[in-house]
Structure 1
Amino acid sequence: MKFFAVLVLSLLPLWAQAAEMGERLAPWTLLDQFDQAYTLDDQAQILLVARSMDGAKLVDAALQGQPKGYLEARHGVFVADIQRMPRLIAKLFAVPAMQSYNYRVMLDRDARIAPRYPAPVDKVLWLQLKDGKLIAQHEYDNAAELRQALEQVQP
């Protein structure tokens, strides 16, 4: 039994490998802050992943003052990993606060999606996609730089 447990644990990193350049990202579905489902498809060109509250705050600061639909017009998708947040806090405070945002936040409540895209916890991971394939990857730890990068994307 110990051998089986060690074998399974040693194979876990292989199942959660990062996406490689040119690789097609596996589709997934998450609910946003309004409990509306979104499925990653070939239309997405930018995937922003925040693994912590600090990362999510960077995205929010970068999108401050932008009109509703700004991120979606750039075929951008924002995934926030909120699995470390206590469920009661998320339900009563955090998610209702997110409903005032002028952009969608795909909520990874159980860390099913965000771990597929490893990045430092305090940064925002930017995955550039074309036809569902990863073509570039960047990390941002500054809201002004993230905002500038978003402004360079043509809607």
Structure 2
Amino acid sequence: MKKIIVLMVLIAVSLWGAPYKVGQTVPPMELKDQFGKKHTLKVMPHTLIMAFEKGTGTTVNDYLSSQDKGYLDAHNAAFVADISGMPSFITKAFAIPKMQKYPHIVLLIDDEEFGLKFPGKEEKITIMKFKGNLVDSIDYVSTADELKKAIEQ
């Protein structure tokens, strides 16, 4: 009996820690932006753009910075950067001040465990599409052209 209980607990923990998949529901979440303002996502935007590395974050920020103000809102999209792996000193001294110069909102994940709930691939930008809070699709892009196509479709 103990083995069954331990097995069930291990399965539950592994499922809880796994990244979201197509068909799963994402619960409402609260994230701070680069200015420290809290944003509550009760219903997920149609398109969630996610960067987990400096290089992919630069690609997204360069592209979004070249767009008109309100571009993300016009396409029912949001950009989330996972900065949880960045040393605190670097985040406060360099990354946040740089992000505050962007004309677009960058929602920030600063908790590594929370960041693990989202799918990612090395050197790729994650594009999650939603219908309400249901994950409709997950794709990965690398270039600004691919990013533009993913946001605008």
TM-score (norm 2): 0.85
In structure 2, what residue type is equivalent to 1:41?
K
**What is residue 104 of structure 1 aligned with on the other side?**
105
Is the contact between residue 65 and residue 104 of structure 2 (CA under 8 Å) also seen in structure 1?
no
**What is residue 88 of structure 2 aligned with on the other side?**
87
Q: What pairs up with 1:1-155 in 2 under 5 angstroms?
A: 12-42=13-43, 44-150=45-151, 152-153=152-153
Is the contact between residue 79 and residue 114 of structure 1 (CA under 8 Å) also seen in structure 2?
no
Is the contact between residue 24 and residue 135 of structure 2 (CA under 8 Å) also seen in structure 1?
yes
How far apart are the structure 1 equivalents of 2:44 and 2:135? 13
Task: Indicate the SS of the match to 1:118.
Answer: coil
Tell me: CA distance 1:41–1:134, structure 2 relative to 1, closer, same or farther (3 Å): same
Q: Name the Cα RMSD after superposition.
A: 2.2
Aligned length: 148
How far apart are the structure 1 equivalents of 2:115 and 2:107? 10
- Range that drifts further, 108-117 or 33-42: 108-117
Q: Deviations over 1:60-106 (max 9, x none)?
A: 13223101221122111111111111111111111011011111111
For structure 2, the 5+ residue unaligned runs are none
- Displacement of 1:43: 5.2
- Range that drifts further, 14-23 or 85-94: 14-23
Is the contact between residue 127 and residue 138 of structure 1 (CA under 8 Å) also seen in structure 2?
yes
For structure 1, the 5+ residue unaligned runs are none
Is the contact between residue 50 and residue 80 of structure 2 (CA under 8 Å) also seen in structure 1?
yes
Q: Deviations over 1:102-122 (max 9, x none)?
A: 111111112243211121131
Task: Indicate the SS of the match to 1:54.
Answer: helix
Task: Indicate the SS of the match to 2:58.
Answer: helix
TM-score (norm 1): 0.84
How far apart are the structure 1 equivalents of 2:58 and 2:66? 14
Runs of 4+ in 1 over 6 A off after TM superposition: 6-10
How far apart are the structure 1 equivalents of 2:90 and 2:104? 21
In structure 2, what residue type is equivalent to 1:34?
F
- Displacement of 1:35: 0.5
